[in-house]
Structure 1
Amino acid sequence: MQRFTLQTIESAPEKSRPTLKALEEKFGFLPNVMATMANNPVLLNGFAGSFGSFHGGSLDEIEKQVLLLTNAVTIKCPWTVAAHSTFAIEDGIAESEVMAIRAGRLPKDPRYAALSALTKALIETRGNVSDADIDAFTSAGYSKAQILEVVTGIGISTMAATTANMAGTPIEDRFQPQLWSAAA
């Protein structure tokens, strides 16, 4: 059940409009979760600021999608799983790696596996990860400082997933081929 209006640039609250316009330009369309967030400028503008910072970080596009897709699956959000599955494939991740993450497994690539494992551990333990979790991440070639970048990615993805789940945000036609539902 859709609980919030999908705002457009024209219908959104005044303080959401510039951000919506910038997001539409970036994506080439206005994703429904952002149109939902636009009902409250505090959420939308906070999301957009963190989103821009995260996407200017040190992780490459595939690593970002591994992180974001892992977060989506861990939080059990059909909208963000469908969206990030689509973006991951478009960014060049092997479909087998996407399917592994969607099934709750680690990717075969050791670096992506370390990133996915740390992301999941941070979410499931609410940040109370072990030294072994951190060592596994840094042993894969990541820096300790990049853990904080992972935290940023989790934060923005959690904003989107929580909004989509709570609001009943509909999944766009573009993402329909990647529909997903949590295992019972």
Structure 2
Amino acid sequence: MPFTEPFAEHTVETAPAGSVRALEGIAKNLGSVPPPAAKQAESPELLNGFLRMSALFESVTLEPVAREVVIMTVAARNECGLCVRMHAGKLEKLGAGKSLVAALAEQRPLESAELEAVRVFTCAVLDGRGEVDDARLEAFYAHGYTRRNALEVVLGIGTYTLSTFANRLVG
């Protein structure tokens, strides 16, 4: 039976040169480097690509809690427990209630109609692999969201699909 060696949990001292700055930045921002990020450091391109994409997603016009709804929807559907825990903490820092966090983690409808529209639209994009019918688009727009916001949801899905898949791969 073949033995597959686990991914190394890199430090600033052991990481490939291209990952060192990223690890230093993560440690500065979070106080430490989460194990999945330390393992993803094996690929500077993946780690740095995710961090750039994440920064881009943070700069979109969707409100911070709506962005977290996209992230939590992707994380819960992709069964990335670490991602769910990390972003639950971020939602709480943003002032989101525990009921919102629990509903997102459990993939249940949300009490806020506006945030539920984001969750449902995110699911529609995922389910349709990007193809969303006019009725679902109109339902999203009816809550004050725009075509730009729809594309921002796609950016969030891509960013956090990359993250959740990489987290699951590295264990």
Q: TM-score, normalised by structure 1?
A: 0.84
Q: Which amino acid aligns with 1:79?
A: L
1:56 is matched with which residue: 46, 56, 59?
Answer: 59
Question: Residue in 1 aligned with 2:159?
Answer: 156
User: Does structure 1 retain, via aligned residues, the 8 Å contact 2:40–2:170?
Assistant: no
Alignment RMSD: 1.7
C-alpha offsets along residues 77-132 of structure 1, whole Å, 9 cap, x if unaligned?
22211221222122211111111122211211011101111111111221121111
Q: Which amino acid aligns with 1:25?
A: K
Q: TM-score, normalised by structure 2?
A: 0.90
For these two proteins, the number of residue pairs brought into alignment is 168
Higher relative contact order, chain-length normalized (CA < 8 Å, sep 6+): 1
In the TM superposition, 1:31-110 aligns within 5 A as 31-110=34-113
Question: Residue in 2 aligned with 1:122?
Answer: 125
User: Does structure 1 retain, via aligned residues, the 8 Å contact 2:75–2:83?
Assistant: yes
What is the alpha-carbon distance in structure 2 between the residues aligned to residue 92 and residue 166 of structure 1? 32
Q: Which amino acid aligns with 2:46?
A: L
Structure 2: stretches of 5+ with no match in the other structure: none
C-alpha offsets along residues 124-155 of structure 1, whole Å, 9 cap, x if unaligned?
22112111121111111111111111111111
Which protein is bigger by CA-based radius of gyration? 2
In 2 relative to 1, CA 2–129 (structure 1 residues): closer, same or farther, beyond 3 Å?
farther
What is the alpha-carbon distance in structure 1 between the residues aligned to residue 93 and residue 29 of structure 2? 15
User: Does structure 2 retain, via aligned residues, the 8 Å contact 1:2–1:167?
Assistant: no
Tell me by how many angstroms 1:27 deviates: 2.7
In 2 relative to 1, CA 55–77 (structure 1 residues): closer, same or farther, beyond 3 Å?
same
SS in 1 for 2:147: coil
Q: Greater CA deviation, 30-39 or 42-51?
A: 30-39
Question: Residue in 2 aligned with 1:111?
Answer: 114
1:10 is matched with which residue: 13, 17, 20?
Answer: 13
Structure 1: stretches of 5+ with no match in the other structure: 169-184
What is the alpha-carbon distance in structure 2 between the residues aligned to residue 11 and residue 37 of structure 1? 12
